[in-house]
Amino acid sequence: MALTLSLLAGPMLAGCAGLPHDKPQLKPREAADLGLTNTAPVPVAADWWQALGDPQLDRIMADALAGNPSLDEAAARLRMAGSLIASARSGLLPQVSADASAMDQRLSNRYIYPAPLGGSWTWISNAQANLDWSLDLAGRQKELVLAAKVYTHANELQLSAARVALAGNVAQAYVNFARAEAQARIAREFVASRSASLRIVTGRRDAGLGNEFDIASARTLQSEAEQALTRALGARALAVHALAALAGRGPDYGANLTTPTLALDKALPVPETLPADLLARRADLLAAREQVKLAMAGEKIAKTEFYPNVNLRAFVGAQALGIGSLFTGSALTGGFGPAIHLPIFSGGAIRAQYRQAVAGADIAIAQYNKAVVGAVREAADALSGVETNRADARQQAEILTGLEKTVSLDKVRLQSGLSTNLDVLSAGERLLSARQAQVDLAADGAVKRIQLLIALGGGFTPIPDQNAGATAPAGK
């Protein structure tokens, strides 16, 4: 055995000559490359939505995290990835199998069997146990195990990213639900007030103090308020359907929903600047980084194809002509020895596969860098959106205050005969639009704060990578 391996050592080493030295040309972006430095970390609570103070939202969130089909799919992918680890590890262990056969066969009288066996029919029987064990001298199987672990960790992170995204979608849909409820409430108030105004104008017309123009104007404003109510109720229905789908339920899920108690202008803890640990706190970016590690592992696996593959094989069993003789001592057979595969000439296929793996690593790095740049922009846009909305809301509050004073003064002027009823109705129309705009700004602000929290990681707590030292850092 030792002599056999020694005799083959020279050709093996010769076969390893001329190994490729191609390496990935790209490197993953770091926080310093994007200016994310010298800022303190900003923790985001795992249950950040509870800061909105609405128990109904908490219940919907729990339903969604427990029953959303997208999460079920991500969890199934994680289980499938975990099974790959066991599958890869099995390649490091001896493989034992058993075979048995019996066949009634006519033996050739022109072959190795003399008469009377040659030219006759007889049973050929065989039973044996087999052992096959790869020595994994090139480390291919070990790299496959490490790659399976990295792949599993990537799926773990993707599941976390799916949870973060789902929480953000549920919270935003709930804000839109609250927006629609608030818009419907305002619209109902204006429908009631404009119905009253129409009655007053009609009474003034009947008393000879008004005309048909005033009535037509009042009816138009009432119709506009009714239209606003119809639109708000339609938006409410869509928001309810969205919440039901996110929770993995049907349309009847909305039957149990009541008016939200959250205040649309409720403050959420958001930072003033982008934190330096942004790249380390987003599960989707960490998952993309694991894909880089996986691609780098693929490069190592492809490189092992240039090395010899040595298996130890053995078998023991019995072979006999005739079934009755199979279980006699003289039927015993067995064998043991190495099986060696050494690539010598493959027409460039192995080298091409290796270069393909190296290019795959560059693709993974480029995709990671693209995700990083996109994430930084997403967070920066969300931060700017929060700041802009804050200023916009202050300005809208001033506009609304001014319009309320205008409506109040117009009513006084109307009573004094210094203004017409049409002036009051027109001011009321602008007041409706202003209140609707204020609700929209408050809801938009809540959505933007939620988007910022999601862009900052959404409360994701990084899971320690148990395989951090298993593979070389990408791009090194």
DSSP code of 254?
G
- Over the stretch 322-333, which tens digit does the pLDDT of each residue have? 888 888 888 899
| pLDDT tier, 224 (very low <50, low <70, confident <90, very high otherwise) | confident
* pLDDT at 467 exceeding the cut of 80: no
pLDDT-derived band at 39, boundaries 50, 70, 90: low
DSSP 92: T
For 213, half-sphere exposure in the C-beta direction (CA atoms, 13 angstrom radius) is 5
Determine, yes or no, domain membership for 462: no
Domains of the chain: total: 2
* Average of per-residue pLDDT across 9-38: 64
Residue 200, domain member (yes or no):
yes
* The predicted structure's pLDDT at residue 424: 62
> Domain holding 84: CATH number?
1.20.1600.10
Q: What is the pLDDT of residues 113-122, one digit of tens each?
A: 888 888 888 8
Q: State what percent of residues in the chain have pLDDT above 90.
A: 36
What single letter denotes the amino acid at residue 10? G
Give the end of a domain, one of 324, 342, 360.
342
147 plus 190 within the same structural domain: yes
- Please tell me whether residues 255 and 314 are part of one structural domain: no
> Contact, 49 vs 58, CB < 8 A?
yes
Burial of 401 (0-12, 13-18, 19+ CB in 10 A): exposed
- Residues 265, 221 within the same domain: yes
Q: Average pLDDT for residues 22-31, to the nearest whole number?
A: 76
Residues 447 and 426 occupy one common structural domain? yes
pLDDT in tens, 246-298: 999 998 898 889 999 988 887 777 777 777 677 777 889 889 999 999 999 99
Mean pLDDT of 342-363: 88
Who wins on pLDDT, 359 or 30? 359
Q: Which domain holds residue 325?
A: 94-135+309-342
Q: What is the mean pLDDT of residues 33-54?
A: 72
What is the band of 206 on the pLDDT scale with cuts at 50, 70, 90? confident
Asked whether residue 406 falls in the same domain as residue 443, the answer is yes
| Residue 466 domain-assigned (yes or no) | no
| Domain boundary residue, one of 342, 366, 390 | 342
In a domain, 140, yes or no: yes
Q: Is 421 part of a structural domain of the chain?
A: yes
Supply 377's token pair: 């922009």
In a domain, 467, yes or no: no
403 versus 453: the higher-pLDDT residue is 453
> 87-111 burial by CB neighbour count: b if 16+ within 10 A, else e?
ebeeeeeeeeeeeeeeeeeebeeee
* Boundary-marking domain end, from 342, 366, 396: 342
Identify whether residues 391 and 261 lie together within a single domain.
yes
CATH code assigned at 109? 2.20.200.10
pLDDT average, residue stretch 342-367: 89
pLDDT of 48-69, one tens digit each?
898 888 999 999 999 999 989 9
The pLDDT tens digits of the residues spanning 174-201 come to 999 999 999 999 999 889 888 887 887 7
Q: Convert the pLDDT of each residue in 391-436 to its tens digit.
A: 888 888 888 787 777 766 656 555 555 555 556 666 666 777 888 8
Residue burial 319-358, b: 16+ Cβ < 10 Å; e: rest:
ebbeeeebeeeebeeeeeeeebeeeeeeeeebbeebeebb
Please give the pLDDT value at position 46.
78
Does the residue 415 lie in any domain?
yes
- Whether 331 and 451 share a structural domain: no
Give the mean pLDDT of 26-37: 71
* Percentage of residues of the chain with pLDDT beyond 70: 83
pTM: 0.79
Whether residue 420 sits in one domain with residue 325: no
Same structural domain, 77 and 160: yes
For residues 200 and 112, membership in a common domain is answered with: no
- 8 located within any domain: no
Task: Round the average pLDDT of the chain to a whole number and report it.
Answer: 83
User: Is the same domain home to 178 and 213?
Assistant: yes
Give the pLDDT confidence score for residue 425 in this predicted structure.
62
Residues 99 and 230 in one domain: no
